[in-house]
């Protein structure tokens, strides 16, 4: 059954499901620590990639620590990519800054 993270964890707490697959690491650890789960095993991960012009008008190079920044030369594109931000995505993105 496909539901959001909060609903999935609630179903697990209510013993309505045998397995929950979610993508909110801290919430997963809390779920297990509170005794609702017996094990947390990572099976996937997200890569967050920030792209923009080399001149960096947003000041990203000042925000992210050097080891987490990577620079690649590329041609500017008139196309841009964005994700539809959900609560858990936003939580993860906030850990990057």
pLDDT in tens, 72-90: 444 444 444 444 445 556 6
Residue 13, classified by CB atoms within 10 Å of its CB into exposed (0-12), middle (13-18) or buried (19+), is middle
What share of the chain has pLDDT > 90, as a percent? 33
pLDDT at 93 over 70: no
Total-model pTM: 0.52
For residue range 31-57, what is the model confidence (pLDDT) as tens digits? 999 999 999 998 877 777 777 888 989
The radius of gyration of the chain from alpha carbons, rounded to an integer in Å, stands at 18
Domain boundaries, the chain: 1-45, 46-97
pLDDT band for position 96 (50/70/90)?
Answer: low
For residue 12, what are the contacts with CB-CB under 8 A and spacing of at least 6? 20, 31, 36, 37
CA 41 to CA 80: how far, in whole Å? 34
């Amino acid at each position: 059954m496909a539901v959001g993270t909060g609903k999935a964890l609630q179903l697990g707490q209510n013993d309505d499901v045998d397995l929950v697959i979610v993508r909110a690491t801290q919430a997963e650890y809390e779920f297990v620590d509170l005794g609702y789960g017996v094990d947390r095993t990572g099976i996937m991960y997200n890569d967050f990639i920030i792209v923009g012009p080399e001149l960096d008008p947003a000041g990203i190079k000042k925000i992210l620590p050097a080891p987490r920044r990577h620079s690649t030369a590329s041609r500017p594109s008139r196309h841009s990519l964005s994700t539809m931000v959900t609560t858990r995505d936003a939580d993860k993105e906030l850990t990057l800054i």
